[in-house]
Copies of this chain bind each other. A is one copy, B any other.
Amino acid sequence: MAKRATTKDKILNAAEALFAEHGFEQTSLRQITALAEVNLASVNYHFGSKKALIQAVMARYLEVFMPALDQQLAQLQQQSLISTRQVFDCFREPLKQLSSVRKGGPTLFLSLLGFAYAEIQGHLRRYTMDHFGAVMERLLAVLHMANPQLSPVDMFWRLHFVLGATVFTQVSGPALREIAAADFGETVRADQIVDKLIPFLAGGVDAVSPA
């Protein structure tokens, strides 16, 4: 049956590729429509605005990722003893499953998420909270189970340190991988960065608070 790619899908795919590489603000509608080989005005016809297009691009991934993450967290939540490391490991499987959305999906999604958070777009933050606020709450709950000694406000800050390190690594991932390859002769696949990141994050969250 495979019908030809619709204009709407061509736009989504081109936008996703460019957004993941250069960020949302840095990508113009003209770049997107040129890559998609469609007319400029069709973006506003199909999506209404650039903001709505950004949300549509993110939604394709979030709708797969968030329920999967929620399930992992819920499963972990049933245990009585939880480590921070286990919490972060909950992200591994949902991330891998994004390969079913698209080849290279996990990396693309993390890049998009990085830019989304980096260019603090109010409308995306709102969208995420409206649709997946429950998942975020469960994440905080599980993290608190893993670190009952941390006060809620300290956990709040550390969770944002975690977000910062993660987001930033993804946004500057390609550049950093180039430098690493040049300086250390060690090629690092995009998905391997997560393996290096998770121990760092867990160590940071578990660190003893200062007097």
A33 at the interface (CB under 8 A from B): no
A184 touches B199 (CB 8 A): no
Report how many residues on chain A are interfacial, defined by Cβ distance under 8 Å: 44
Classify the interface of chain A: helix, strand, loop or mixed: helix
Q: Closest B-chain residue to A193, C-beta based?
A: B157
Closest to A114 in B: B164
Q: Which parts of A181-211 form the interface with B (CB within 8 Å)?
A: 183-184, 186, 188, 193, 195-210
Report the bound CA distance from A157 to B168 in whole Å: 12
Q: Which of A4-12, A35-43, A105-113, A148-156 contacts B (4 or more CB under 8 A)?
A: A148-156
A153 CA / B176 CA spacing, docked (Å)? 11
Which A residues have a C-beta under 8 Å from some C-beta of B?
A: 118, 120, 152-154, 156-158, 160-169, 172, 175-176, 179-180, 183-184, 186, 188, 193, 195-210
Q: List the 8 closest A-B pairs by CB distance, nearest first.
A: A203-B207, A164-B168, A204-B204, A165-B165, A200-B204, A153-B184, A164-B165, A161-B165
Contact sample, A vs B, 24 pairs, CB 8 Å cutoff:
A118-B118, A153-B184, A153-B186, A156-B179, A156-B180, A156-B183, A157-B193, A158-B200, A161-B168, A161-B200, A161-B201, A164-B164, A164-B165, A164-B166, A164-B168, A164-B169, A164-B172, A165-B204, A195-B210, A199-B208, A199-B210, A202-B207, A203-B207, A203-B208
